[in-house]
Amino acid sequence: MTDGARRIARDWLPPAVVRALSGNSSGTLRFTDGFDTWQQASAAAEGYDAPSILRQVVAATERASTGEVAFERDGITFDDPETRWPVAAALLLAASRNEGRLRVLDFGGSLGSVYWQHRRLLADIDVSWGVVEQSDFVREGARFASSELNFHSSLEDFLLAGEPDLILLSSVLQYLPEPLVILDSLSRTSASFLLIDRTPVSALPRAIATVQQVPAEIYKASYPAWILSESELLASLGAHWTLLEDFPGIEPDMSTSSGTEFRWRGYLFRRNLGG
């Protein structure tokens, strides 16, 4: 495991925080490019009010966990069930290949948003759902922990209890300074499946650094984010994984400030034999 993976819980730009501003306002988000490096984009970003957003996510999760609302996503509550079928199918596929047992490594999974959204479909499965997150979310997650749902401040901590069957990264990779390095570390677990969702990709040969900006009327915030190269992403995973399916994200197609077009995608991979 790389040093980057060991430091991830304390060094990353918290995707659980910034996701509270992404998926639900995607039509009005702006992505400013023209930066040569992630560091340049980070220096140009203004940041965000992390404690305020965390409080919003906690409140929404409380309502979802008690059944007051159907589910929460990115700190927003929803009254009607909205199954993310590509994700649900991947979870059920992984469980079916493991005699009805499923251990999920939910990397950057907030307070278990995807778990709460799909738990009714997992009722007859022996589930262990581990969220790897920054320390503030792990602390708040203690109130929601159960025999099925648990929280970890590092990949190493998660692995102390065993290897995952499926790795989930939902709206996470674009907020990591070195997403391909992290993917390589995660790929070195023994997980049989890798599920990536809600990830912005372009047809360019390399990822481009941007500043993701949210309109002031929604929330005053900006932060660095990658538009990943789809070809580079898929090539980086070829040594360990075979692509089974790709599917659209929930966000619409967009363009950066300079006109680079990109789309939001999801991917389901199966472990290569010997990979």
- For position 71, which CATH number holds? 3.40.50.150
Does 17 score more than 80 pLDDT? no
Can you give the pLDDT at residue 19?
A: 54
Instruction: Tell me the residue range of the domain where 23 lies.
Output: 3-271
CA distance 264 to 126: 31
Q: What integer is the mean pLDDT of 141-155?
A: 95
Question: What confidence tier does 51 reach under pLDDT thresholds 50, 70, 90?
Answer: confident
Of 149, 148, 125, 166, nearest to 268 by C-alpha is 166
Look-up of token digits 């994200």: 249
Q: Mean pLDDT over all residues of the chain?
A: 88
Closest alpha carbon to 249 in 84, 127, 14: 84
| Under 8 Å between Cβ of 233 and 169 | no
Closest to 192 measured CA to CA, from 98, 77, 84, 56: 98
Cβ neighbours around 205 below 10 Å, total: 9
Can you tell me whether residue 238 is helix, strand or coil? coil
| Beta strand residue intervals within 139-257, DSSP E | 149-152, 166-170, 193-202, 208-214, 221-229, 241-248, 254-255
- Backbone phi, psi, residue 256, to 5°: -75, 175
Alpha helices of 19-49 — where are they, by DSSP H? Answer: 38-44
pLDDT of residue 5: 47
- How many domains, the chain? 1
Task: Return all residues near 203 (Cβ < 8 A) that are at least 6 apart.
Answer: 229, 230, 231, 261
Cα of first residue to Cα of last residue in the chain, in angstroms, is 16
With vertex at residue 67, the alpha carbon angle to CA 65 and CA 68, rounded to the nearest 5 degrees, is 110
Q: Which residues share a beta bridge with 127?
A: 102
**Which residues have a Cβ under 8 Å from the Cβ of 136 and sit 6 or more positions away?**
14, 50, 54
Q: What is the pLDDT of residue 6?
A: 45
**Position 7 confidence tier, pLDDT thresholds 50, 70, 90:** very low
163-216 pLDDT tens trace: 999 999 999 999 999 999 999 999 999 999 999 999 999 999 999 999 998 766
User: Does the pLDDT at position 117 exceed 50?
Assistant: yes
